[in-house]
Structures are given as C-alpha cells and as structure tokens.
Chains A and B, each alone.
Chain A
Amino acid sequence: EPEVTQTPSHQVTQMGQEVILRCVPISNHLYFYWYRQILGQKVEFLVSFYNNEISEKSEIFDDQFSVERPDGSNFTLKIRSTKLEDSAMYFCASSEQGGHQPQHFGDGTRLSIL
C-alpha cells in the first residue's frame, strides 16, 4: 500500500540553525500538508499546499517557516532559525483531492532543538 515517507525520523539541531524536514507524499496525491504535535498537546495544522502554492497557513506558520515542492516527488518544510519551542513531532500528510478526502500521514520527524 502506498505511504507517505518522512526523513529523517529524528533531527537534533542547535537553536538558531536552519532545518529542513523532508517528505515524499503518495505519488498520485495533489494536496500536501504539514502538521506538528508538541509533546502532550494536540496535533496542530501548519500549512496546506496545492498546485505549487500555499492554500492556507496557520498562525504558527510565521515567516520562519517555508514549504517547497522542489521536484515531482518531494515536499519540504524549512524552519529558517529554529527556536526551542519548535521542538515537536512534525507530520507530513497528503490527499488525492482537497475537501472531503482523507489525509494520509507519514510517521513524522521528531525535531529536538537544543
């Protein structure tokens, strides 16, 4: 069964450094998402992406964050200058269509900021 893959599974970074989290969505999916889950808290929406542009972003997704689909398979989340509070599990998801379609999630990248 096709799945969303995320790399790395765990990323440790010094505060202030840039980090790029990578995702390979399911191949025929057109809509892509990033979510995060801080330890002990809810899964929170960050951004949705369709047709090479951001469809919607949350308040969390400030100027330090960016997303890119550099080629036909990868979808990346970049945090330009990491802060301690960016430590969380980051999940990538994709869906075949927008709207009433289930999103399929990767296993996440655990980001630890020191």
Chain B
Amino acid sequence: DQQVKQNSPSLSVQEGRISILNCDYTNSMFDYFLWYKKYPAEGPTFLISISSIKDKNEDGRFTVFLNKSAKHLSLHIVPSQPGDSAVYFCAASPGGSSNTGKLIFGQGTTLQVKP
C-alpha cells in the first residue's frame, strides 16, 4: 500500500535553518492531511493539519503546504531547533460521507537538527 509516500528516509539540517519535509499521495479522495512528530518510545504527536480546501496552514514555526494538482504536501519548520529532531509522519484521511477518520501514514522521515 503506497498511497502515502515519504521518499526521503532522513534529513539533516543546521540549527536555525529551514527544514522541509515532503510527502506525496496517490489517492485523489484524500481531503485531510496531517503531520505527526514521533520521538523514540512515544506515540505520534499531532503537529499540524490541512484540509484540501486550503493550500497553506501555519502554526508558529510550522507551515504545511498542499499542492492538490501535484498530490504533494510539505512541512516547513523555520527556524529548526535541535529539539525538532524526531521522526516526522505524513498522514492522509479519505473524505466522503462515510469518512470514519481512518488515517493512512507515510513511512516517516527522520529529521536531525544539528546545533
């Protein structure tokens, strides 16, 4: 099942710089997208989400961009901090009247922010 793909297994950036994490999807029925952060031995922590009616959503240092025509979304973290080092998961939810909230996850990208 490759409906949600994160093609970069890892990313390393310098503290203070921008981190850009990418995610592609194949199912045009997805209408809600989320980013989660995960530390070892913890569950995924919700970061930010975006509905398909928008192309951008911002929350503090985190901004998610959605390009529906390309079926692509990205998470920008500015400025990056060492505490941002974690695994980042992209997730998508199918829409429609029978939407049960089921999330389909990407494989994750490990972000390392170097001091």
Q: Chain A: how many interface residues by the 8 Å CB criterion?
A: 28
Question: Given A99-B32, A103-B46, do A45 and B106 touch, yes or no (CB 8 Å)?
Answer: no
Instruction: Give the distance in Å from the alpha carbon of A108 to the alpha carbon of B43 in the complex.
Output: 6
Known pairs A42-B106, A42-B107; A95 contacts B43 (CB<8 A): no
Q: Is the pair B44, A105 in contact by a Cβ cutoff of 8 Å? A: yes
Could you say which of A42, A50, A91 has the most chain B C-beta atoms within 10 Å of its C-beta? A42
Segment 1-17 of A: residues with Cβ below 8 Å from B: 4, 6
Residues of B within 8 A of A43 (CB): 44, 89, 91, 103, 105
Interface members, chain B 39-79 (any A CB < 8 Å): 41-46, 49, 51
Q: Which residues of B contact A55 (CB under 8 A)?
A: 100-101
> In the bound complex, what is the Cα–Cα distance between A93 and B44 (angstroms)?
10
Closest residue of chain A to B101, judged by CB? A98
- Give A28-46 as 1s and 0s: 1 = Cβ < 8 Å from B's Cβ atoms: 0001010100000011110
Does A102 lie within 8 Å of B46, measured CB to CB?
yes
Q: Which residue of A lies closest to B95 (CB)?
A: A99
A42 proximity list for chain B (CB < 8 A): 1, 105-108
Q: In the complex, what's the smallest C-beta–C-beta distance from B25 to chain A, in angstroms?
A: 13
Q: How far is the CA of A56 from the CA of B103 in the complex (A)?
A: 11
In angstroms, Cα B34 to Cα A44, docked, is 15
Q: Are A105 and B45 in contact (CB under 8 A)?
A: yes
Q: Which 5 A-B pairs have the closest CB atoms?
A: A105-B43, A55-B100, A56-B100, A43-B105, A102-B46
| A interface residues with partner B (beta carbon < 8 Å) | 4, 6, 31, 33, 35, 42-45, 48, 50, 55-56, 58, 91, 93, 95, 98-108
Q: What are 19 A-B pairs with beta-carbon distances under 8 A?
A: A35-B103, A42-B105, A42-B106, A42-B108, A43-B44, A43-B103, A43-B105, A48-B101, A58-B102, A91-B43, A98-B101, A99-B95, A99-B99, A102-B49, A103-B101, A104-B46, A105-B36, A105-B43, A105-B45
> Which B residues form the contact surface with A (CB < 8 A)?
1, 31-32, 34, 36, 41-46, 49, 51, 89, 91, 93, 95, 98-108
